[in-house]
Structure 1
Amino acid sequence: MDSLITIFLPLALAIIMFSLGLGLTLDDFRRVAARPKTFAIGAGAQLILIPAVAYILVLLFRLPPELAVGMMILALCPGGVTANLLTKLAGGEVALSISLTGIISLVAVFSVPVLTAFFASHFMGLDAPAINVTSLGVSMFLITLVPVAIGIAIRKMAEGFALKLDAIVSKLAVVLFVVVVVGALAANWRTFMDNLAVLAPALILLNIILLGAGIFFGRVFGLTLPEAKAISIETGVQNATLGITVGSLIVEQASALPPFSLPSAVYGITMYLVSIPFVFWLRGRRVEAMQ
């Protein structure tokens, strides 16, 4: 279990973020400035709506304090490569999805440590772990933004090679992700079983609400259907590996994944049960302006 935390967990996250970087170009970031309204809707959904919905569900389902913190950590995480792939499968605007993932991942390096400390204190009070916000931020920078930057650099210097490499790296990331999720559940099997009846419905409902929100905002703000699809999936699909990693980083010298990581580990399974059928439903929708 020590190797899961010290090797596979950060390695899986770093490879996932490296894969994200391979799919990014500087033009993806320039599109943000060219389409401020669309990006603002997606960013607002990720930075405000997701934590708000998660907080309400934590209260409604009366999750134990450690699991409540874990669910908020998940809600603070950006979308990931999985969201980009699902957006492509659904016929959404992939460039918008990648732009949102890239920039919100940058914001997360600063927002996640601060808000994780806040929610830990809020739900656990004096029992909250002592969270070194600076140390957590540096750790996130090293295992998220550095791999993304390397991926972007490779894509800029050798685009053809980057695209071929991405196909390999993406598959490797999936394998490592499975190892992390299975290991997390195995290490916390008793806690997982004791809280499954409450935790799984809360996470499934979170997924459903957030996926639906993207389509709703698309109708309200008059976005195109591909834009709404991208925002829907970016809002509804979080980076579970990052959530597991952050949950383990806030516990010093952990020899097993703590309960803080459990919601993200369970979500790593339930999100596919909800997202895949939703994506195929979106795929069948006509591409038209949503007025």
Structure 2
Amino acid sequence: MKLVNLVNYVFKEHLSWIVVFTAAAALLFPSAFAWLAVWVTLMLQFIMFTMGATMKTSDFSEVFKQPVRVLAVVATQYIFMPLSAYLLAKLFQLPAEVALGLILLGSVPGGTSSNVLTYLAKGDVALSITATSVSTLLSPLLTPVVLSVFGGAFIEIEFWSMFLSILQVVLVPILLGLVANRFFGTYTEKMESYLPTFSSIAVLLVLAGTVAVNRDNLITTGWVIFLVVFLHNISGYGSGYLVSHLLGFSKESTRAIAIEVGTQNTGLAASLGLAHFTPLAALAGATGTMVHTLFGSIYASFCAKNDKRQAQALEKKHSLEKTTSVQAANY
């Protein structure tokens, strides 16, 4: 148990560096990791199963408490993010399959790493968990729809094939996880501390596999892909802030929404790209894992440090006011 807690702590505190190290290893030694690409779908199914196994009724409480916030996340995620990807693909004149991969990245639900990033950023974790769950459960229908609308301009999309694929990769494993939680709750509770670690390792293996098979493409066009994916990621944070400002949400909710909209399920994007198209279509998903984690970690660190500075300034102000008040009373 101590080892598991240590590993969980390392992943939480040093996730960005672990992601960079994994990607670098896959780039330097692609032959050692390329075989993982065959197992990307299975690993993603395991991640979704762990998500379902740890879901609780309370995870959806935000839907009933403040449905507007959850609706704001899901609507922004499935409308703005694919549109942003489409416009960036046109602006940078990306090759058809690379452009499709970027739009695919914008069409998938929020990633589970958004929950960790929201926690580190001192945001509304309950909202983040609920939004991730809802957007993921809606993904079998919404992802093929928005991908057909925006990605159809580049490559013909087989709607029902992708719909069934997402059912198999996302919804079925989640439902099996929920069933396991329902009938074997005693055991899943004991495993709950282990599952995030196993899930994180699976995400890293997905990253390593997709980076390895895209090694040559990343080397030749890497800077363009990184730039476009970064701009797409930034646009998600910006749209989250804009929507939150217009609707008057709290600082904590705003941070959660910005992270949730900007942080996609990159593993799912990479898996669908490999399964339905070519390794080029998985390029944005592989790059997104690195970009989303790195920028998200930087953003979370900035938010936490900013809160600390504000708390210290407020404490100093109260201390000064107290001193002034005592001096005035003595006078």
**TM-score tier (shorter):** 0.7 to 0.9
- Partner of 2:295 in structure 1? 274
- Separation of aligned partners in 2, 1:139 and 1:208: 29
Specify which of 284, 289, 300 is matched with residue 263 of structure 1. 284
Asked whether the equivalents of residues 68 and 123 of structure 1 are also in contact (C-alpha less than 8 Å), the reply is yes
CA shift at 1:276, angstroms?
Answer: 0.5
Pairing 1:45–2:76 present = yes
Pairing 1:4–2:25 present = no
Asked whether the equivalents of residues 16 and 81 of structure 1 are also in contact (C-alpha less than 8 Å), the reply is no
Asked whether the equivalents of residues 63 and 199 of structure 1 are also in contact (C-alpha less than 8 Å), the reply is no
Specify which of 203, 206, 210 is matched with residue 177 of structure 1. 203
- Partner of 1:23 in structure 2? 54
- Partner of 2:191 in structure 1? 165
- Separation of aligned partners in 1, 2:300 and 2:173: 28
The one-letter amino acid of 1:74's match is: L
CA shift at 1:268, angstroms?
Answer: 1.0
SS of equivalent residue, structure 1 residue 238: coil
Identity over the aligned pairs, expressed in percent?
28
- Partner of 1:195 in structure 2? 221
- Separation of aligned partners in 2, 1:165 and 1:86: 22
CA shift at 1:197, angstroms?
Answer: 2.1
- Separation of aligned partners in 1, 2:70 and 2:109: 14
- Partner of 1:254 in structure 2? none
The one-letter amino acid of 1:270's match is: V
- Separation of aligned partners in 1, 2:138 and 2:48: 14
- Partner of 2:263 in structure 1? 237
CA shift at 1:187, angstroms?
Answer: 1.6
Corresponding residue pairs, total: 277
The one-letter amino acid of 2:229's match is: L
1:126-141 correspondence to structure 2 within 5 Å: 128=156, 131-141=157-167
Pairing 1:75–2:106 present = yes
> If you compute each CA radius of gyration, which structure gives the higher value, 1 or 2?
2
- CA 1:43–1:121 in 2, change beyond 3 Å: closer, same or farther? closer
- Separation of aligned partners in 2, 1:281 and 1:177: 25
- CA 1:216–1:160 in 2, change beyond 3 Å: closer, same or farther? farther
- Separation of aligned partners in 2, 1:234 and 1:224: 15
Q: What is the Cα-based RMSD across aligned positions, in Å?
A: 2.4
CA shift at 1:151, angstroms?
Answer: 2.6
- Bigger drift between 179-188 and 235-244 goes to 179-188
Asked whether the equivalents of residues 12 and 176 of structure 1 are also in contact (C-alpha less than 8 Å), the reply is yes
Asked whether the equivalents of residues 15 and 169 of structure 1 are also in contact (C-alpha less than 8 Å), the reply is no
Q: TM-score, normalised by structure 2?
A: 0.76
Unaligned runs of at least 5 residues, structure 2: 1-32, 311-331
Q: TM-score, normalised by structure 1?
A: 0.86
- Separation of aligned partners in 2, 1:285 and 1:145: 38
- Partner of 1:227 in structure 2? 253
Asked whether the equivalents of residues 207 and 271 of structure 1 are also in contact (C-alpha less than 8 Å), the reply is yes
CA shift at 1:192, angstroms?
Answer: 1.7
Pairing 1:217–2:243 present = yes
Asked whether the equivalents of residues 32 and 39 of structure 1 are also in contact (C-alpha less than 8 Å), the reply is yes
1:36-66 Cα offsets, whole Å, 9 max, x none, are 2212211221111111222221122221111
1:75-133 Cα offsets, whole Å, 9 max, x none, are 00111211111112222222211111111112210122233344443114xxx4xx442
1:96-111 correspondence to structure 2 within 5 Å: 96-111=127-142
- Separation of aligned partners in 2, 1:123 and 1:205: 20
